Amino acid sequence: MKFLPLVWAALTRKPARAVLTLLAMIAAFTLVGLMTGMNAGFKAIEAMTRSDRIYVNPRFQGLMPAAMGKQIAGMPGVAAVIPVGEVWGYYQVQRNNVYVGLGDFERSRPEWPVTPAQWLLLRQDPDGMIMSRIQAERWHKRVGDVFTMNAPSFNRMDGTKTWRFKVVAVAPDIALNPDGYLFANLTYFDKSKPLSEQGQVGYFEVMAADPEKGSQIARAIDDTYASSGTPTRSFTDRAGFENGQANGVNVEKVTRDVSLAGLAMILFLTANGIAQSVRERFAEFAALKTIGYGDRIVMLLVFLEAALPCVTGAGVGIGLAAILSGMVNHLLPPGWGLPVPVMTLPVYLFAGLGAAVIALASTALPALKLRRMDIATALSGRT
């Protein structure tokens, strides 16, 4: 602590340089925070995916007969089968894409932040809808409002393609769906379709009694229907996320590489700054050594001079990244679709480690030079 005034004096000797270096660090660490945070967000979502929930989709486009649900329910290891309908279309103008899931999700999505009371409200109201907060904010809807969507691909019995729902509850969001969600009742939907299309569903959500057996049950379902009129393609929540969500992009590698590039940029900047600072103050360090400062203390001084802006920059940068992540849903267009960065312990650790490595690496060469310095020559100023 007693060396702090010395370090401070060194930093403020060239205030412009110190401030600019710090600002560059803040920018780089904001990037590091956003990138590693995005990876952490992705990991968090992955950890939330379940192995006991199986999605049974038609192998090819089209619908599936609801009666299949009863057959699947009879298969060994299956705890529950929830038939699900789907409607997609738009709200008011075509770019406002909307997707509604219709079904009794209370049984298949126990981890979702919808309360039993809200599920009850939905069941009691045939044309009711549960809206997540993100969606409610986007369409400016509150409980009691009517939400009318256009669905060009979904005919109603009366010949129109306009679907009307009443908002019965607004529920918190879930990281898995960064774009929010809309739930409604399957019965209402099914009964409103033309007679010829009734009794068909989009897919099934199947709960396995034992999470360990999820993939096995998914395979068994696919085998059963392989040569039927409606072949299936089933996978667990976990497997679906692993295969689909990233669209084939290795999120971990991309975010890490970008972070490293950002760090490399400031490593160079810092190393140069410290080298220059030490060169300019060579005589000063010689004086310190003359009055009895040991090699270690001199090196510590140089290290602190590098570390102080690194740590400050990392702190402020990560803070800025945290603030920006909080605003992602307001700053970016709807349907952004990428995981929202979250600031978890590994994010702080990575930033801290990055700051430490940069400080150490940029101190190494100048410190070595100071150690080997010839005090007499340095003091004389003939360097």
Partner 1 sequence: MLRQIWIVSALNFKSLMGRFWQSMVIVVGLAATIGVMLSMLSLSVGMREAYLRAGDPGRAIVVSKGAESEAQSSITRDVAPLIADGPGIAKDKDGKPLADRGLNMGVPVLRKDGSKGYTTMRGIAVEGQGVRPELHIVAGRMFQPGRREMIVGVGAQALFRHMQIGDKVILPDGEWPIVGVFATGDLLEGQLLGDTETLLTAMHKTAYNSILVRLTSQDSLDTFKKALTTNPALSVTVERHSDWYKRVASQSTFVLALLAYIVGAVMAIGALFGCLNTMYSAVSTRSREIATLRALGYGALPVAVSVVLEAVLLAVSGALIGAAIAWVLYDGKQDVFGNSVFHLSVSHVQFELGVTWAVVVALAGGLLPSIRAARLPVVDALRAT
Q: Candidates 143, 175, 209, 338: give the one binding partner 1 (CB under 8 A).
A: 338
Restricted to residues 45-84, the positions that interact with partner 1 (CB under 8 A) are: 59-62
- Over its C-alpha atoms, the chain yields an Rg (Å, rounded) of 30
Is 265 an interacting residue with respect to partner 1 (CB under 8 A)?
A: yes
What does the block give as tokens for 44? 């968090």
Residues 162-221 that bind partner 1 (CB under 8 A): none
Q: Which of 12, 148, 243, 383 binds partner 1 (CB under 8 A)?
A: 243
Would you say 35 or 184 has its CB closer to partner 1? Answer: 35
Joined together, the tokens standing for residue 345 give 């312990």
| φ, ψ (nearest 5 deg) of residue 45 | -65, -45
Looking at the Cβ atoms of 94 and 124, the one nearer to partner 1 is 94
Give me the least distance between CB of 311 and partner 1, in Å please.
17
The footprint of partner 1 on residues 16-45 (CB under 8 A) is 16-17, 20-21, 23-25, 27-28, 30-31, 34-35
Which is nearer to partner 1, 59 or 371 (by Cβ)? Answer: 59
3-state secondary structure 30-48: HHHHHHHHHHHHHHHHHHH
Q: What does each C-alpha distance from 204 to 53, 90, 131, 189, 223 come to in angstroms?
A: 10, 24, 21, 16, 16
From residue 274, alpha-carbon distances to 241, 261, 271, 360, 364 in Å are: 46, 20, 5, 11, 10
Residue 262 near residue 318 (C-beta atoms within 8 A):
no
In angstroms, the CA 182 to CA 195 distance is 25
Give me the 97-136 binding string for partner 1, x by CB under 8 A, dash otherwise: ----------------------------------------
Its sign, for the CA torsion 317, 42, 96, 248, is positive
> Which range, of 102-110, 170-178, 235-243, 303-311, touches partner 1 by CB under 8 A?
235-243
- Cβ–Cβ < 8 Å for 241, 49: yes
Region binding partner 1 by CB under 8 A among candidate stretches 4-12, 212-220, 247-255, 285-293: 247-255
Distance CA 7, CA 217 (A): 65
Tell me how many residues contact partner 1 (CB under 8 A). Answer: 53
Residues forming contacts to partner 1 in the complex (CB under 8 A) are 16-17, 20-21, 23-25, 27-28, 30-31, 34-35, 59-62, 94, 152-153, 226, 229-231, 233, 235, 239, 242-244, 247-249, 254, 257-258, 261-262, 264-266, 268-269, 272-273, 275-276, 332-333, 335-338
